[in-house]
Structure 1
Amino acid sequence: MKLLPLIGAISVALLSSNAIAEYSPVEFYGYMRGGVGLSSEGGANNKWEVNKVGRLGNEDDLYGEFGLKKELYAEDEVSFVVDSMLAYWEGQDENSLDKSVNVVQLNIQATGLFADKDITIWAGDRYYQRHDVHIVDNYYWDVSGIGAGIEHINVGPGKLSFALIQDTVAGDIDDGQETTAVILDIRYADIPLWNKADLELGVDYHYGHARNEQSLDADDSVMLTASLTQNLDAGFNKTILQLANSGYAEQMTTYGHGNGLIRDAANNEAEGYRIINWGVLSLADNVELGHSIRYAAATNVDSTDTDDSTFSVVVRPMYKWTDRMRTVVEIGGFSDTINNVDSAGSKFTVAQAWIPKPGFWARPEIRVFATYLNDTKNENAFGTGVDNEISVGMQAEAWW
């Protein structure tokens, strides 16, 4: 699929008719990463257990998101906005064959229609209020998809949001028909606590709706989320607790997002939870540190009388040499027990990077890196009798 014609078509739609810059210009925003690397064992550099050992110097693909947003109407505090986005992916090996382009956002958002002017109603395909840990490239709370909702309702000290989103699921197939499933997402955010701290609470109910004469064996499931943010003078710290049952319980130890659920009757008795702590802190004028710590556990997954668990730690310190040059180090490790199978591994990366200005989140960034990977439980992880490898490469990353 060609990328430029798609972008052109969306641009024409956004700029046509009454949308021509009458209220605001088209906003172009997005994200990209890409580069090249070679490894001592695998030819090209690997992308190995990114969610567990960290992403720096551990990515081998080209990925980009291209968003176009246009305000179509703005009068009397009322605003209608159309938001769209294409995502592009290309693998490093055989890159002429493994390309893909997808429409990942296409929605309308309207604000200011009610007495509470903060309220937004929306419908379409949307990245919906996603929560992630950037350095391990994992969205731990992400029910994005085709749906509709009402958000940012001022209730008491916080803001209330409701969304109903379709989910593409595996399992629960009867007579060749896949399950019709939706996620009811309810959130209460921006609850003030002590100084510079706030709390967000959420419940996601995954509901399977039987079609005519269809029987669903898998139970519906629930995921509860509490997210505490402590802002600091020189950074922030987040602590997240998630509790889940049935299909959502399995996602606790598999780094699941909250969508793409596997509905399976074998998970009906499953229960699980995960605790995540991550943040960024400035330790000195020239030193910043990012970190991610995660522990998750689940029981009775796939009707097995086993206890699954996963534990991972990633730290990313960086030293600023000048306002435009820094050295970044990332160290990560994990230990898993899933279905009575133990796995563990580690990563060490050192990178020299150039940015336009200082700051942990400063982008764009161009970096050269060297990475050491070690799988301590699989002696054939990177080739016959090879449990470690070294890779070197160069990568760019940006958001705008």
Structure 2
Amino acid sequence: MKLFKLLPLSLAVAGTLASAGALADNHDIDAMEARLAELEARVGGQFNDTQQPAVLNAQSEVPLGIVFSGYARYGAGYQGGDSLYVGTAGGIGGGNKTGRLGNEQNGGEIQFAKAFESDAGAIWDIVFMVDHWEDASWGNTGGTQVKKLYAGASNVFESQPDLYIWAGRDFHQRPQTDIDDYFWMMHDGQGAGFYNLNLGGVKFDFSVVGQVEGEFVGDNGKYAATSKLHGMNLGGVDLALYANYGFKSDKLENDNDVADSAYQLAAEANFSGQKFLVRYSDSAVDSVFDLKEDQTALLFSFSGGVGLTDNAGIQYLTSYQMNEGDAVEDRAQYNVIVRPTYQWNDVHSTWLEGGYNVVDFDDIDATNSSWKVTLSQNIAIGGETWSRPMLRFYATVGEADNEYTGQNPDGSYTTSNPDTLTVGAMFEAWW
């Protein structure tokens, strides 16, 4: 790939940022480590992500009444250019590879849950969620849909008090990188399984789910067996391993466009506010529900945050993903996103995000790219980067240069070159 040489450079820049703490004097190492931990917490994106399953354990408190939680972002953007948002044609997988700040669509997820405790000490919950997103990039058909309706229980086996067993419809296996808003695995569906089976100090999750389409209740014939091994701490590195297998039922027996099986293998390492992950998919990209023949995908991603001073920090992400096979146009995608932040006080902050994203085709003499810069002035409920609710007032400029969006009958390529100038305001909250 003619632009592959940019990837090591971006990784080197990110690695240099991550190692900033190494410049401290040895005699003050304890104080330096404590200060780094505090600063990393300011920019590391620690928050209660309600998109992940709320897994109960034997120590969970049972709140009274109904628990109301969710995630939402809504606002308006004035379009002063060709496009309201910035993106690159031909991208691999989901997410917003040019950066999400000032480049996000509207929507939200509203959740209600009720917990119970039996006389024997088992803790149960029933969870219901609806979501509402701007278009089919998040909601299969747009509009409001039931995304969760499940029940689960923990402390039902004396030897495994933290084992949580569930059945129903749920957001399922949604590991995410933040500033590109990328769920690099996603297996929402209806099924059953368990979390936190204790295997000698290491935890194991396993579930089998069927994919559902939008507002429908039954599955569409595509299934996923998902697993995760986690709770492994190796010298300050929190390691998790994933293995997923996709397959189809007899409902799709005569559909030749659906592969018989697919699989994914992945590893995720978190350390000192940074995250490194690698994922390999066969007959799939982000989900083994894809069941797409004759293609593979390989992803590397490094992201995190570093505190520079009491008030200034920087978040960043760089990734490389390749998609190739007989059924696809072989291509690689790589991106760099950098977001410096400055916290004026416990209410006001300023963020500046720059992103660059490239899709480099292998068998086609074409490269697509996009860039954007967003300046955002924020008002939040607290003085941390992840404090929400937050009001944002922002301006985004950017451009996409797509040398290939399709092929004309005469063999020439269709192209596009939209620019973006957007001024907007929005709120974002998780609770």
Structure with a larger share of its residues in strand: 1
Runs (5+) with no aligned partner, structure 1 = 1-21, 92-97, 170-177
Change (3 A) 1:70 1:327: same
CA distance in 2: counterparts of 1:364 and 1:160, whole angstroms: 34
Counterpart of 1:78, as a letter, is A
Counterpart of 1:38, as a letter, is Y
Q: 1:320 aligns with which of 331, 343, 346?
A: 343
1:129-179 CA deviation, whole Å, 9 max, x = no partner? 42111221210122121110011001023101110011259xxxxxxxx97
Q: 1:198 aligns with which of 228, 238, 246?
A: 238
Contact 1:85 1:103 in 2 (8 A): yes
Q: How does 1:287-366 map to 2 (within 5 A)?
A: 287-302=312-327, 307-338=330-361, 340=364, 341-366=366-391
Contact 1:45 1:392 in 2 (8 A): no
CA distance in 2: counterparts of 1:298 and 1:386, whole angstroms: 24
- How far the C-alpha of 1:80 sits from its partner, in A, is 1.3
Corresponding position: 1:141 with 2:166: no
Contact 2:262 2:288 in 1 (8 A): no
Contact 1:378 1:387 in 2 (8 A): no
Hey, what does 1:108 align to over in structure 2?
151
Hey, what does 2:76 align to over in structure 1?
36
Q: 1:392 aligns with which of 416, 423, 427?
A: 423
CA distance in 2: counterparts of 1:53 and 1:36, whole angstroms: 20
Higher relative contact order (CA 8 A, sep 6+): 2
SS of the equivalent of 1:121 reads strand
Contact 1:290 1:317 in 2 (8 A): yes
Change (3 A) 1:374 1:122: same
Corresponding position: 1:224 with 2:265: yes
SS of the equivalent of 1:284 reads coil
CA distance in 2: counterparts of 1:276 and 1:385, whole angstroms: 28
- How far the C-alpha of 1:47 sits from its partner, in A, is 5.8
* C-alpha RMSD over aligned residues: 2.6
Counterpart of 2:353, as a letter, is E
Q: Which stretch shifts more, 45-54 or 270-279? A: 45-54
Hey, what does 2:18 align to over in structure 1?
none
Aligned length: 341
Counterpart of 1:28, as a letter, is F
1:309-329 CA deviation, whole Å, 9 max, x = no partner? 100111111101111101101
Runs (5+) with no aligned partner, structure 2 = 1-61, 89-94, 136-140, 214-218, 406-414
Identity of aligned residues (%): 25
SS of the equivalent of 1:274 reads strand
- How far the C-alpha of 1:198 sits from its partner, in A, is 1.2
Contact 2:223 2:289 in 1 (8 A): no
Hey, what does 1:372 align to over in structure 2?
397
Q: How does 1:28-177 map to 2 (within 5 A)?
A: 28-42=68-82, 45-46=84-85, 48=87, 51-59=96-104, 61-90=105-134, 100-114=143-157, 115-168=159-212
Q: Which stretch shifts more, 288-297 or 49-58? A: 49-58
SS of the equivalent of 2:308 reads strand
- How far the C-alpha of 1:389 sits from its partner, in A, is 2.5
- How far the C-alpha of 1:386 sits from its partner, in A, is 5.5
Contact 1:272 1:298 in 2 (8 A): yes
CA distance in 2: counterparts of 1:187 and 1:212, whole angstroms: 27
